[in-house]
Chain A
Amino acid sequence: MAQWEVMVGNKAVAYAAKIARAGYISAFPITPQTTIVQYLSDMIANGELDAEYVTVEGELTAQASAFTASAAGVRAFTATSGPGLLYMHHPMHVTAGSRLPVVMAVVHRSVKGMQPDHSDMMAQRDTGWMMFECEHSQELLDTGIMAYKIAEDERVRLPAIFAGDGYILSYTAEPVELPPQEEVDEFLPPYQTEWPLLPEKMNQVLPFMMKQFGFGGDPQDPWKRQQKAMEEAKTVIREVNDEYGKRFGRSYGNGLVEEYMCEDADAVIVAMGTIASTARTAILNLRKEGKNIGLVKLKSFKPFPAEEFQRIGKEVKALGVVDRNISCGSGGIVFGEIRNSLYDLDERPRTLQFYAGLIGKEVKVGDIEKVAEKTMRVAEGGEAGPVVEWV
């Protein structure tokens, strides 16, 4: 029997680690992630979760030790926010480069303050981690479980982040369904690695590790293999999302993107995380007024589903992209990725760029309605003024 509980986002994250039977948890507290590791330490103290819980002296060690545990053949979990994630940057490259399926929860916190935006995760864009964005607590829990299945798949073997906006999700209480442990155990069998990095297996493991790091071959090989795994991951994400949906009755679009009211839409807006959640209400309001507009929720930021946007780009006349991040000197990062994907189309739709919710600025339903209306005007052939707008 599935159980329901009214819980905050951070508790849903802790349950994801528990139900996935994480065997190693490295914990260093930082607002707004702190309560995740508090809930997990409670679960271990109560005997609900059998895991090695290590309080480390900083995030660099949190990542490095999760990486080590994963190398030794244990399912590893860690979580962090904002500046903590920046402090992990170097070992994150090592985890991805070593092809170790560590799963980490990121509770978004701006690099410029306490409040949420996606600047922390976007600064890790090129580390080779998969990145999945969530819009509600249930999705955090489900994505956490799915992330292990995707990360540990032989075709992928890459670490994964599942992320939610700090404060907005981390501390908001809402009903969440907890899937039964036995069924999750069937869905997610124990983590197995052919190459556990254990002293007695050193002779076997060393040649493998040498290869992973590119010694004795084309020095570009590690990046080549990582890129190939990312491409493979797109298939695996779809499969895992489908299987999860069949077993537990919940899936999220095709695992990569989720389309809401996009049938016959002339224009769509694209958003991630909680902004996508608020955008549902805005889109519903505009549909009631007879506007042909839809929402594309970008769930998998890495691997980036370029093919999905090419398909959508053929069907609509304009895309309005809402970025909760900025790469100063170029622009919104999701916007850049989407424009990049659309370049090869023969007939390209118009693209508009919006910044919203940076450093925790509240994003109201009305804000998204304005974004959608402007995108709609452009789709109808009108000029809408500046292409870039701060909401």
Chain B
Amino acid sequence: MIEIRFHGRGGQGAVTGVRVLATALYYEGKFTQGIPMYGTERRGAPVTSFLRVGEERINERDLVHEPDMVVILDPLLGQTVPVTDGLREGGLVLINHPRGGRDAGLGGPFKVATVDATRIAMETLRRPITNTAIIGAFAKVTGMVTIESLEKAVMKQWPGLVGEINMRAVRKAYEEANMPVDVSDIEGVKVRQLGMMDRDVSSWRLFRPEIDAEKCVGCRRCYIFCPEVAISMVDDKAQINYKHCKGCGICAEECPTEAIELKQEEI
């Protein structure tokens, strides 16, 4: 039996991705078990899901604690979540990252494969939902599942145009994925599991809102609508506390004078 742990953020489709992959692997003649871990998720919050792949019915009903493989749908997640904890020695990591496996910020007795899933998702789906790109790369780096089985599963999940567009992401990621490289000589980033009281959500951001103080008229609309209470009013101008900003963009949407602009974060 092969056990895989998925890390993503609410909205990237980690749960749906696992379900589609479980279906595709079933078409390959495997028995699969796709387990989401539900809690109080919201868009941007770190989420986990699990996939078990075996030859016959899988009886284990606990979560996966010592995965053979880890799949990470977000390039910055490794800074706040201990993504490689428990990974078996010689295991495999597949991470959404624009650079190669040795430059993805991960190190230890395992191999790292990469794919620039955010860019592929933006180019094909026009939104940063990275699950289908990552499963395309999964097919390439593991060889466990064929593109044909993935297509069958993707089209079952999203019949019609949505499925076709997602298949473009799958195929593109399959072509562009960087094969696993050894990182056992690299020291990985040590992260501390964040507790409930930690309020730093800055790594959740894909887009960073920036306020043009010239255009800000101090109307307080952004201050009222910000779901994270990350905006304060200083001298009647809005000011963003970036530690609390998860980059949802509601402030930019609400601003009547277009004083707030969203800029993609650099990795």
- Cα distance A167–B34 in the bound complex, in angstroms: 12
Binds A, one of B3-11, B18-26, B112-120: B18-26
The interface bits of chain A over 1-26 (1 if a CB of B lies within 8 angstroms of the residue's CB, else 0) are 00010101000000000000000000
- Cα distance A280–B58 in the bound complex, in angstroms: 10
The interface bits of chain A over 128-167 (1 if a CB of B lies within 8 angstroms of the residue's CB, else 0) are 0000000110000000000000000000000000000101
CB of B242 within 8 A of chain A?
Answer: no
CB of A53 within 8 A of chain B?
Answer: no
Chain B residues 33-56 with CB under 8 Å of chain A are 33-36, 38
Chain B interface residue bracket vs A: 20 to 34
- Beta-carbon contact of A6 and B22 below 8 Å: yes
CB distance from B232 to the nearest CB of A (A): 33
Chain B residues contacting A189 (CB-CB under 8 Å) are none
Cβ-neighbour of B58 out of A167, A174, A275 (below 8 A):
A174
- Beta-carbon contact of B63 and A174 below 8 Å: no
- Beta-carbon contact of A6 and B61 below 8 Å: no
The interface bits of chain B over 124-135 (1 if a CB of A lies within 8 angstroms of the residue's CB, else 0) are 000000000000
CB of B62 within 8 A of chain A?
Answer: yes
Known: A6-B19, A6-B23. A278 touches B32 (CB 8 A): no
- Cα distance A355–B65 in the bound complex, in angstroms: 22
Chain A residues contacting B59 (CB-CB under 8 Å) are 277-278, 280-281
CB of A316 within 8 A of chain B?
Answer: no
CB of B207 within 8 A of chain A?
Answer: no
- Beta-carbon contact of A175 and B26 below 8 Å: yes
* Residue in chain B with minimal CB distance to A275: B61
Cβ-neighbour of A172 out of B26, B34, B65 (below 8 A):
B34
Cβ-neighbour of A6 out of B26, B60, B62 (below 8 A):
B26
Known: A6-B22, A6-B23, A6-B26. A175 touches B32 (CB 8 A): yes
CB of A363 within 8 A of chain B?
Answer: yes
CB distance from A277 to the nearest CB of B (A): 5
Known: A6-B26, A6-B32. A173 touches B61 (CB 8 A): no
User: 18 new A-B pairs (CB below 8 Å) besides A6-B23, A174-B33, A175-B32?
Assistant: A4-B26, A6-B22, A6-B26, A6-B34, A32-B38, A135-B61, A136-B57, A171-B35, A171-B38, A172-B35, A173-B23, A173-B32, A173-B34, A174-B22, A174-B58, A281-B59, A363-B62, A364-B62
26 contacts between A and B (CB under 8 A): A6-B22, A6-B26, A6-B34, A8-B19, A135-B61, A171-B35, A171-B38, A173-B19, A173-B22, A173-B34, A173-B35, A174-B33, A174-B34, A174-B58, A175-B31, A175-B32, A274-B61, A275-B61, A277-B59, A277-B60, A278-B59, A278-B61, A280-B59, A281-B59, A281-B60, A364-B65
